């Protein structure tokens, strides 16, 4: 299989799988939250994901040596990048959880999804320019997310500010992965990122909550599912998909988690899609399709002509 084909599959299939897992995990998060306090749930699910990836790294060490056996430059990039994105992830998830107390899930999901447009805006600062089609796709996706998530009148509450800050930190996490992940193994990166995030959530758990074994036991099955699938596998797929790719395009694919969450509710819980939600889903899929159409820019066409001139017939 050609490298370009592998790259295309990696940057489409991996984020789609991650979005599907995150979307389907909303059911597990909802069930688990009935018994386990929020910071405790966040800490435990992330530790489970990190432990799963550690075992996977050990199992695959013949193919990719563990970090302590890697050269010093590799370890430096791994710990610096993964620790930074792990901090951003911890801040984002816990800000979201704090804001959820006074914000309904639909509005929180929409505000969180503002990272769809924040990523290309922040990318300009990092000299990661996106094609015009990707900007248009991001705008279409935002409209689709609004129709999908907002069912009542949209009003601004104080807690919404926390959710907006959460979207900013999710955008930063995506850009940090884009910056550091190409130089290291995706499983190693995700494992360290989750370990840092879990450590911060554990501190918050010990300060603000008093979890009991009975609470954890009651929500153990959804906790294991969310921990292994959502934290362990999906975040690793995110890291892998962002290697040497346009972070804005990958972000659009990841934002399909809202669509998959709605569709999961239809399949598992027997929910019905309203006309508004159906239009939102169509717009989301249309935006993702538009973002992945390989339009050539003027510079890329110019480079192609130069290459044709240099190459012998």
Q: pLDDT band for position 196 (50/70/90)? A: very high
For the stretch 248-299, pLDDT in tens is: 888 888 888 878 877 877 777 676 778 887 888 888 888 888 877 765 544 4
Mean of pLDDT values over 223-241: 92
For residue 114, what pLDDT is reported? 81
For residue 153, what pLDDT is reported? 67
For the stretch 56-80, pLDDT in tens is: 999 999 888 999 889 999 999 999 9
Q: pLDDT band for position 45 (50/70/90)? A: very high
Instruction: Quote the number of domains for the chain.
Output: 1
| DSSP string for residues in the chain | --HHHHHHHHHHHHHHHHHHHHHHHHHHHHHHHTTS-HHHHHHHHHHHHHHHHHHHHHHTTTTS--GGGS-HHHHHHHHHHHHHHHHHHHHHHHHHHHHTTSS-HHHHHHHHTTHHHHHHHHHHHTT----HHHHHHHHHHHHHHHHHH--S-----HHHHHHHHHHHHHHHHHHHHHHHGGGS-HHHHHHHHHHHHHHHHHHHHHHH----HHHHHHTHHHHHHIIIIIIIIIHHHHHHHTTTS-HHHHHHHHTTHHHHHHHHHHHHH-----HHHHHHHHHHHHHHHHHTS-PPPHHHHHHHHHHHHHS--
User: For residue 231, what are the CA distances in angstroms to 19, 84, 120, 173?
Assistant: 12, 17, 25, 14
Candidate from 130-139, 206-215, 279-288, 292-301 with smallest mean pLDDT: 292-301
Mean of pLDDT values over 93-119: 75
Structure tokens, 281: 């889903």
Candidate from 104-108, 147-151, 204-208 with smallest mean pLDDT: 104-108
Boundaries of domain holding 288: 3-310
Q: pLDDT band for position 2 (50/70/90)? A: low
For residue 78, what pLDDT is reported? 94
Mean pLDDT (the chain, rounded): 82
């Amino acid at each position: 299989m050609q490298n370009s084909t592998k790259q295309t599959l990696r940057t489409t299939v991996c984020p789609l799988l991650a979005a599907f897992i995150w979307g389907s995990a909303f059911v597990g998060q909802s069930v688990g939250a009935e018994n386990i306090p929020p910071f405790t749930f966040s800490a435990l699910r992330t530790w489970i994901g990190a432990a799963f990836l550690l075992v996977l790294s050990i199992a695959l060490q013949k193919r990719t040596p563990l970090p302590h056996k890697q050269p010093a430059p590799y370890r430096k990039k791994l710990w610096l990048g993964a620790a930074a994105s792990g901090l951003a992830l911890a801040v984002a998830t816990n800000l979201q959880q704090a804001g959820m107390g006074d914000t309904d899930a639909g509005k929180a999901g929409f505000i969180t999804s503002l990272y769809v447009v924040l990523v290309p805006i922040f990318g300009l600062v990092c000299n990661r320019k996106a094609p015009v089609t990707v900007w248009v796709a991001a705008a279409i996706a935002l409209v689709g997310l609004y129709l999908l998530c907002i069912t009542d009148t949209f009003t601004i509450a104080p807690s919404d500010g926390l959710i907006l800050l959460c979207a900013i930190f999710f955008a930063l996490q995506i850009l940090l992965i884009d910056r550091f992940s190409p130089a290291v193994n995706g499983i190693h990166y995700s494992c360290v990122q989750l370990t840092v995030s879990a450590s911060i959530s554990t501190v918050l758990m010990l300060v603000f909550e008093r979890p009991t074994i009975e609470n954890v036991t009651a929500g153990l099955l959804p906790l294991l599912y969310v921990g292994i699938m959502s934290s362990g596998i999906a975040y690793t797929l995110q890291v892998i998909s962002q290697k040497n790719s346009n972070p804005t395009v990958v972000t659009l694919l990841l934002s399909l988690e809202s669509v998959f969450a709605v569709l999961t509710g239809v399949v598992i819980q027997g929910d019905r899609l309203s006309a508004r939600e159906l239009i939102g889903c169509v717009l989301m899929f249309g935006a993702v399709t538009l973002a992945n159409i390989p339009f050539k820019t003027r510079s890329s066409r110019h480079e192609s002509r130069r290459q044709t001139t240099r190459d012998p017939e």
